[in-house]
Amino acid sequence: MIIKKGKLLIAEPSIIGDVSFNRSIILLTEHNNEGSIGFILNKPLDFELGDLIPDVKSNFPIYNGGPVQQDNLYFIHKVAELVPESIEISKGLYWSGDFEKVTRLITDEKINQTEIRFFLGYSGWDINQLQSELSSNTWILSENIHKDNIIQAVDTAFWKKKMLALGGEYSLWSNAPEDPSYN
């Protein structure tokens, strides 16, 4: 399978214990000759958009997007017709765009939580780094079968569901404790 934006990276069970990527599902939002960018979809943090931006009265959850630039807020969405400067990931799915417009749309209740997801930080790889990690079985590259519904499809149990769907030895890992010392 070819690495390209719109694909999913599923953390291999072998990286259990990795603080950033243990049991992660990452949506690749960019892949080019400079490297790759993606966001961890299944790691909610303990605060909401209104906690970070008090002017926006919102309980939209914030997710840990990855270990890079965790002091910056990013977002993916499926409302490009409402958000100028959106960057297409795949058909019907976008990232970035005019943030001031997004905050107004949220305040006016014209965007809901099934249409947008916010992240602190992102996951990034230099050129050839992601290919090297795939070759060393750190990640499983997968099609995004949920397409633009990925925002509402991914929850905290998504990694476990993916392990079960892969079957075989992966289904054994689906029930392993997140921290192996609890075993």
pLDDT value of residue 173: 86
Local confidence pLDDT in tens for the 183 residues of the chain: 899 999 999 999 877 667 789 999 999 999 999 999 999 999 999 999 999 999 998 999 999 999 999 999 999 999 999 999 999 999 999 999 999 999 999 999 999 999 999 999 999 999 999 999 999 999 999 999 999 999 999 999 999 999 999 998 898 888 877 765 555
Region of 109 please: left (phi>0), alpha (psi -120 to 50) or beta. left
The CA distance from 69 to 124, in Å, is 10
Sketch out the chain's domains with CATH numbers. 8-76+118-174 (3.40.1740.10)
DSSP H or E segment with residue 159? helix 158-166
| CA 112, chain centre distance (Å) | 18
| Confidence (pTM) | 0.94
Which residue shows structure tokens 């910056």? 72
pLDDT value of residue 16: 65
Residue among 129, 108, 105 at smallest CA distance from 34: 129
The CA distance from 107 to 11, in Å, is 35
| Residue 131: burial class (beta carbons within 10 Å; 0-12, 13-18, 19+) | middle
**Residue 90 one-letter amino acid:** S
User: Quick one: tokens of 25?
Assistant: 């599902």
pLDDT value of residue 20: 87
pLDDT value of residue 182: 56
Q: Which residues contact 160 (CB under 8 A, 6 or more apart)?
A: 23, 174, 175
**Residue 76 one-letter amino acid:** I
